[in-house]
Structure 1
Amino acid sequence: MRCLILLLFILISCKNSTDHKSESKTFEEIHSQAIFVDSHNDILLQTMGKGYIIDHDLTGKTHSDLDRMKVGGLDVQFFSVWSDGNQKNPYNFANTQIDSLDAVIKRNPNKIVKVANTKELLNTVNQNKIAALIGLEGGHQIEDDLKKLDSLYNRGVRYITLTWNNSTQWATSAFDETKENSTLNSEGRKGLTEFGKQVIRKMNELGIIIDVSHVGEQTFWDVISNTKKPIIASHSSVYSICPHPRNLKDDQIKAIAKNGGVVQINFNSGFLDSTVGKKENQFLKKHKAEIDSLKLSGVNPYFAEELMYSKYHQESEKLKASFNLVIEHLEYIIKLVGIDYVGIGSDFDGIVLPPKQLNDVTKYPLITKALVEKGYNQNDISKILGGNILRVLKANE
């Protein structure tokens, strides 16, 4: 079975191409021929919170819009459906976000198609359209109801991030597991409860990929012990380079590789560069009065902070990580466990500090350019850009 999956992976890594000799090709050609997959983009959050429309030109407002995605060579997008732990009726809110994506797809049938499986995905990509899938960011959105997993699957959800920063009753988050007086699950401990293990089994059964970004270490190891399918970290980076609770330690990366899963590198500067967090806290403290004023006027707390980064652009630019750190995180995983277990999960439009140069979806080819300059061949680059996560998607079907 593993050999069959690897064979499929080789077949789906590139669009209509069997030539993997990068020596004779430009990075633009290699990027164009790969199936480029971004496993995490929060543009739906921007549309819900700010009234933006994805199929309009949002240059200067967001990291993403439909036409700029194509400019960047994007072929497959997992759209994040998100809410925090304070959201009332999070299941309904999730469906409203999916409704908004469906409306975009309905208006743009020649540009984007929602797909249910890898067969539909490949057909869509070969028609030069974006294949859309959904990642549910935060298990609280199922409202402790396994039947809602069926409904969300039918609406296009193909992975679920078990927690966001907030824990659920059945799984503890990285944020909660690492803070003082940690929040525990409903059984009074960290990790998965018995119901949480039922969620894992149901996701395996349906073909919804388990996503361990945001989850605590105990939850992570409980997932590894209970899943029968490969998992992903949809938007996480390397703890050994940047020791942030949202990043993965070496033993976790090795466990994901052994499981046959994949780690999708996050572009957030604070997850790439260990010096950014302290500087970012100083920036927010400096502008706290303005942020508090915006919150009092009714502005969403997340957007209030985001406005400060935009208003004080020169200050915020100095906070950004180097683009080279994206490649460093990718290469760290490659050297640790191999080329088959790493990919891209940008977190665009869910972050305010992408790395220098890589400031929107049109800049994706810079990653391919850097990999070519590092000496990677077309086959390996195609794995990183999308082949690895497509293998995991297929293995979960």
Structure 2
Amino acid sequence: MIIRLLLLANIAILQLNAQTYQEIHQNAIVVDTHNDILMKAVEKGVIIDGDLSGKTHSDLARLKKGEVDVQFFSVYCDGGIKDPFAFANKEMDTLDAVIARNPDKISKVTNYAELLKAVKQNKIAAMFGVEGGHMIEDDLNKLKALYKRGARYLTLTHNVAPSWATSAADESPGLTENGQNKQVVLNSEGKKGLTEFGRQVVQKLNALGMMVDVSHVGDQTFWDVIQITTKPIIASHSSVYALVNNRRNLKDDQIRAIAKNGGVIQINFHPGFIDPGFDKKEAAFLEKHAAENDSLKSAGMDSFYAWDYLYREYSMEANSLRPPLSMLIDHIDYIVKLVGADYVGLGSDFDGINLTPQQLDDVTDYPLITKALVIKGYSKKDIDKILGGNLLRVLKANETN
């Protein structure tokens, strides 16, 4: 009888969770700090306010369906692009055009108060995040110009870094994509980390009220930032190094430092950052289809889009590479246990990654993260923080002088 009562109680709890996770998700302010759909809009000509189902992870209607309240749209180009500042503005133009066509659905906001107003009006609050310091072209005036257009964070480096900071790729020796030995790359002052100009960039970001983003940066650059910044920082799309030994993930001492700084780590959904076995499985897949991959690249296709084609062409094989949603939750849980629930959030990297965790097929599936957190035993208060409250706190803190 006691066992039967316990089973009934457990069933009742599960039913309650199933009923309430949607309400928790609806009532929270859901923030994603990194979505790369603008890259595909410019490079592939996709129309963000059209139906892109089956083609991309995101479009305007699906963001609404996933109940994403605040989206930071990544402004990104490869380090080899000529005139990256002009390219950044082209991507910003793309989103501005979408907003102009859909004023009842999405609004560009520039501060915490405007963000809350847009959310209250049931609009997506849109901001830009500039991914890569090379896009300011060593010019603080161009940084200020991007801020004026709505950029509210700068990722100091991408894999290819500016001359004034070293990236995680720069600071890590290893092999290139072509199997060549890669040496450590130093900044223009012949060392790792920030140059004097790089320090000026961080100080300018603090003065503007624009968040400093340490995703992609090398360890020395990270610690230089921690030493200099007067405002809370973010890692807009990074995960946990202790769970997956990847140079893009954050080590425990870095996580503790961000917490001490009052910042937040936004967990990246990329399988290679959340599943320790993914790289080996992906390498086997690419080796199996190497001839086709080489042919696509020989025809001028970028590696990212070549891999995207292969994953779609061989979708059953690709699906077997995708980690379970529970692995993503593990990274959130790790940070919560290490430093508390005030320092973690979501930075999906949707449309900047080829594969996603199982169940998270696109932006409509965000509520499943909330469901997983409810089942894991998280309180509504902590779920609200993880879904967006923590990032909003950091955004607001950066606005104050």
Aligned to 1:83: 77
Residues 158-217 of structure 1, C-alpha deviation per residue, up to 9 Å, x if partnerless? 001000011210000001111242110000011000100000000000011000000000
Aligned to 2:109: 115
TM-score scaled to structure 2, two decimals?
0.92
Structure 1 289/336 Cα, relative in aligned 2: closer, same or farther at 3 Å?
same
Amino acid at match of 1:325: M
Deviation, structure 1 residue 343: 0.2
Q: Per the alignment, in what secondary structure is the counterpart of residue 134 of structure 1?
A: strand
Residues 295-334 of structure 1, C-alpha deviation per residue, up to 9 Å, x if partnerless? 2222233211211111111111111111101111000000
Alpha-carbon distance in structure 2 between the residues aligned to 1:42 and 1:244: 21
Q: 2:271 aligns with which of 269, 282, 286?
A: 269
Q: Assess if the C-alpha contact under 8 Å between 1:270 and 1:321 holds in 2.
A: no
Q: 1:182 aligns with which of 181, 184, 188?
A: 184
Of residues 276-285 and 73-82 in structure 1, the stretch that sits farther from structure 2 once superposed is: 276-285
Aligned to 2:218: 216
Amino acid at match of 2:256: K
Gaps in structure 2 of 5+ consecutive residues: 1-15, 174-181
Residues 361-386 of structure 1, C-alpha deviation per residue, up to 9 Å, x if partnerless? 01100111111112212111100000
Q: Assess if the C-alpha contact under 8 Å between 1:23 and 1:377 holds in 2.
A: no
Residues 210-240 of structure 1, C-alpha deviation per residue, up to 9 Å, x if partnerless? 0000000010000000000000000000000
Q: Assess if the C-alpha contact under 8 Å between 2:17 and 2:375 holds in 1.
A: no
**1:27-42 to 2 correspondences below 5 Å:** 27-42=21-36
Q: 2:135 aligns with which of 125, 128, 141?
A: 141
Alpha-carbon distance in structure 2 between the residues aligned to 1:376 and 1:302: 36
Q: Does 1:44 find its partner at 2:46? A: no
Alpha-carbon distance in structure 1 between the residues aligned to 2:349 and 2:51: 19
Q: Does 1:357 find its partner at 2:359? A: yes
Query: What RMSD over aligned residues (CA atoms) do the two structures have, in Å?
Result: 1.2
Higher relative contact order (CA 8 A, sep 6+): 1
Q: Assess if the C-alpha contact under 8 Å between 1:57 and 1:67 holds in 2.
A: yes
Aligned to 1:14: none
Amino acid at match of 1:217: D
Q: Does 1:285 find its partner at 2:287? A: yes
Q: 1:300 aligns with which of 302, 308, 311?
A: 302
Deviation, structure 1 residue 25: 6.5
- Could you say which structure has the larger radius of gyration? 2
Alpha-carbon distance in structure 2 between the residues aligned to 1:106 and 1:175: 38
Alpha-carbon distance in structure 2 between the residues aligned to 1:290 and 1:137: 30
Residues 17-73 of structure 1, C-alpha deviation per residue, up to 9 Å, x if partnerless? xxxxx9897110010000000000001111112111010111111111101111111
Aligned-residue identity in percent? 63
Aligned to 1:124: 118
Q: Does 1:94 find its partner at 2:59? A: no
Amino acid at match of 2:271: S
Alpha-carbon distance in structure 2 between the residues aligned to 1:220 and 1:72: 33
Q: Per the alignment, in what secondary structure is the counterpart of residue 88 of structure 2?
A: helix
Q: Assess if the C-alpha contact under 8 Å between 1:167 and 1:183 holds in 2.
A: no
Alpha-carbon distance in structure 2 between the residues aligned to 1:295 and 1:371: 41
Aligned to 1:242: 244
Q: Per the alignment, in what secondary structure is the counterpart of residue 72 of structure 2?
A: strand
- Residue correspondences, number: 376
4+ long deviations beyond 3 Å: 22-25
Amino acid at match of 2:384: S
Deviation, structure 1 residue 279: 1.4
Q: Assess if the C-alpha contact under 8 Å between 1:162 and 1:210 holds in 2.
A: yes
**1:318-333 to 2 correspondences below 5 Å:** 318-333=320-335
Amino acid at match of 2:371: K
Alpha-carbon distance in structure 2 between the residues aligned to 1:45 and 1:241: 29
Q: Assess if the C-alpha contact under 8 Å between 1:190 and 1:218 holds in 2.
A: yes
Q: 2:395 aligns with which of 388, 393, 396?
A: 393
Amino acid at match of 2:224: D
Of residues 23-32 and 209-218 in structure 1, the stretch that sits farther from structure 2 once superposed is: 23-32
Aligned to 1:8: none
Q: 2:370 aligns with which of 368, 376, 384?
A: 368
Structure 1 92/24 Cα, relative in aligned 2: closer, same or farther at 3 Å?
closer
**1:60-79 to 2 correspondences below 5 Å:** 60-79=54-73
Of residues 277-286 and 52-61 in structure 1, the stretch that sits farther from structure 2 once superposed is: 277-286
Residues 338-393 of structure 1, C-alpha deviation per residue, up to 9 Å, x if partnerless? 01000000000000111011111011001111111122121111000000000000
